[in-house]
Amino acid sequence: MRTGFSDYQTALVTGASSGIGAATVRRLCAEGIEVHALGRDTERLAALSAETGCRTLAVDLNDLGVLTRLAASAEFDILVNNAGQSRRGTILEMAADDVDSLVDINLRAVLHLVRLIVPDMVRRGRGHVVNISSIAGHYAFGENATTFNSSVAYHATKAGIHSLSQQLRVDLYGTPVRVTEISPGRVATSIFKNQVAADNPDARFVGGFETLGADDIADAIAFAVGSPDRMNVAMLEIVPTFQVVGDLRFARRTELSGADNA
């Protein structure tokens, strides 16, 4: 029985400087995959390369020329669209540049990478696209969650990733190329800082609350990619045990029963 890992040789991971992206690079490298890691922080990328042997490229995902040349530089079997940005505030108070930045990185770059890389996967008869969305793309959050997470523009871009993932499966019907959407909740990354600090405006949401680690998401990606080739893990919504999305209540670690309105 073949698995994704036995068929796949090369991966491209965006947002690889830290967090989920870096954890995913480590996980895929551990499976013997040649990983091309894209990010903005050259020092972190260099450290990640020294640790894992991955190939790195410091890149601005808004640079379509760079993305086009990159797509033509290798035959990628796995594409992990992870890079993302966040902003606070409602759409009523967001600056134009913030809106453009969120759309460019969270959605436009993903669309370009898919159109540039996936046709070659179809031609070669193998491939796996992993899109990192967010529960923000599926649920409307109130004031508390918006302050903690980000703006409606962020939610809208992540909803776009969800829609892209669904439609891409339709477009790829009849091919062996698989598409997985990973939709995380609270993860201890640069967006959700799992620490309390006097200058951290998210402290009241993070301090005593349960969060996932980047490795948890990387393991979920590995599960989907490594699944038997007859099996497509279409979507995984991954949240901490004590994060219940629908009611917007988040239980503290010290409160094993009941819940606390954040």
Catalytic pick among 8, 139, 154, 173? 154
Q: How many CB atoms lie within 10 A of CB 62?
A: 14
User: Edge-to-edge strand order for the sheet containing 78-81?
Assistant: 55-58, 34-39, 10-13, 78-81, 128-132, 178-184, 235-238
Ranges assigned E (strand) in 134-248: 178-184, 235-238, 243-244
The answer to whether residue 154 is catalytic is yes
Query: For the chain, how are helix, strand and coil distributed in percent, rounded to 5?
Result: 40, 15, 40
Which residues touch 143 (CB under 8 Å, ≥6 apart)? none
Q: How many CB atoms lie within 10 A of CB 32?
A: 10
How many alpha carbons lie under 13 Å from residue 132 in its C-beta half-sphere? 26
Instruction: Look at residues 186, 182, 153 and name the one whose alpha carbon lies nearest to residue 165.
Output: 182
Long-range contacts of 136-144 (CB under 8 A, 24+ apart): 137/161, 137/162, 137/183, 138/162, 138/183, 138/237, 138/245, 139/245, 139/246, 141/248, 142/248, 144/205, 144/248, 144/261, 144/262
Pairing between β-strand 235-238 and β-strand 249-250 as defined by DSSP bridges: unpaired
What span, in angstroms and rounded, lies between the C-alpha atoms of 210 and 199? 20
Catalytic positions are: 154
